[in-house]
Structure 1
Amino acid sequence: MTMHLDAAQGEVLDTLSSALDLAGFRTKDRDASGFRARRIPWFGWLSSAAVSPCVLRVSLTGGGVEVVVENTGATPAPRRAAEGLSGAIDGFRSRGVAVDWSQWEPALPPPNS
């Protein structure tokens, strides 16, 4: 997914980080060019089995932001990521920031797998 915004880079990263945090993600490895956001399902903390987290890489690009899903993790993480990103877009738009974005399509496992 890519987003093109008319906002300061710091504001963009802060808004995306906050929106993903509300969706249950935690920001890691943040610097001036972006961050990783990671979500482990609640049952992953309780289970001794290995649980794969959902990991997003958020990077500033020339005039925009790129969000890459590095790992889809367990359900409902992709839905939570979409909710967080939608929340960020709504936040920008409510402040009058013009936002143009591409469709976000999380990688889902094939049917019956």
Structure 2
Amino acid sequence: MLAAYAIVTVLTIAANVWAAVIDFMKADPVVANSDALGLPRSWLFWLGVLKLAGAAGLTLGLLGLRPLGVAAALGLVLFFVGAIIAHLRARVLGNIPFPGVFLALAVATLALTAAQ
């Protein structure tokens, strides 16, 4: 179980760092998605900060601060539930698999972290 926890957590960290970086870069697909959802472009920086904070908390959780890892995983679960709700409300369903994958990673990380 420890190996699964480490692998899934590292994947979740990597995915969220990548997502934060492309938010900070304001990559064209991210801007297009933000526009489709009706989110101000100024939010991209803060959404990236939240993803990066989640990744940092998961990293610290891996390094022994388990309660922080649990809190970070829970925060990412809530973040991506919110992302899916935003997609549903705006009826932007074509790219909903992206937050869905991130949500699945966060849920798996939360479950594995809590089980440690």
Give the TM bin, normalised by the shorter chain: 0.3 to 0.5
Structure whose residues are more often strand by fraction? 1
TM-score (norm 2): 0.39
